[in-house]
Amino acid sequence: MMTTSVRPGIYLLGPMQDDDIPEVVEIERESFAVMWPSGSYQQELKSNRMARYLVLRYRPAAGENVTPLAVQHPEARSFPFSLFSWFRPSKSEPDPNRLPVVGYVGLWMMVDEAHITTVAVRHSFRGRGLGKVLMLAIMELARELGSRMVTLEVRESNTVAIKMYHELGFQQKGLRPRYYTDNGEDAIIMWSEELFGQSTRERLNGVKRQLRERLSWEPTLK
C-alpha cells in the first residue's frame, strides 16, 4: 500500500549505466533471496542485444539529505575469475554528489513479446508507487520496441507485487512449479493485456494520472 505522502524531490528515469551497477546490486540484495550471478548486469549491458534496463534516480529537494547506498565492493577474486574484468573489484569511492539509484527494471525482447526480467525498489523508498513508475516506463518502452504483450514471473507469496501487476492489467496465465531455488516456491506466470489496445492505454494512463498527483518523474539520458 502506498503511503499518503512522499518526499518532494524529483525522480529521474534513464538507461542503466555501468557505474549504476554497484547500487543496483545492493538494491537486489535488499529485495531478493536469490541474486543474479556476479557480473550478470555487466554482461547484460555489454552483450545482450535483447536486453533493456532502466534505473530510477532521486534528486532530493532543497535541504533534503539522501545519499547513495553504502555499496560493499567485492573482494578480489582468485584465478581463474581474476582474468575476467567483470569480476574485478571497483576501487572508486561513491560520489557524494551522485544522484542515488532508488529502483531499476529490465526486460528481454522476444520477437513481439517482452519478458520482464527483474524489478526492484530500494527498501527505504518502497510504498510510494515507484514500482508502478518503473513498470509503466518499461511497458511503454516495450511497446515502442514493437512488443504486443509483456510477461513476467512472480512468487505466489508476493501479494504486494501481484496486486500491482493486476492494477496494471496483468492476469495469471500459468504456474512454474518449484521455480524459486531458495525455498521451492511456485512462480505465477502473468501476461499483460495487448499493449496497443485502447483499453490498455486507458488503464495505464489512469494509473499514471494517479501517480502524478503524488510523484514527479521525468526521463533523462543519464
Model pLDDT, residue 61: 87
The verdict on whether omega for the bond into residue 80 sits within 30 degrees of 0, i.e. cis, is yes
- Active-site residue list: 153, 165
Model pLDDT, residue 149: 97
| Interval 168-199: pLDDT, tens | 999 999 999 999 999 999 999 999 999 999 99
| Interval 38-68: pLDDT, tens | 899 999 999 999 999 999 999 998 877 776 6
| Interval 61-116: pLDDT, tens | 887 777 666 555 444 444 444 445 444 444 455 566 789 999 999 999 998 999 99
The CATH number assigned to the domain with range 10-219 reads 3.40.630.30
165: CB partners within 8 A, 6+ apart: 135, 152, 154, 190
Model pLDDT, residue 13: 97
Q: Smallest Cα–Cα separation from 134: which of 173, 166, 165, 109?
A: 165
Model pLDDT, residue 8: 79
What element of type H or E holds 201?
helix 198-212
CB 18 within 8 A of CB 80: no
pTM of the model: 0.86
Domain ranges of the chain: 10-219
Q: How many CB atoms lie within 10 A of CB 218?
A: 10
How far, rounded to the nearest angstrom, does the alpha carbon of residue 152 sit from its chain's CA centroid? Answer: 12
- Band of pLDDT at residue 163, cut at 50, 70 and 90: very high
Model pLDDT, residue 29: 96
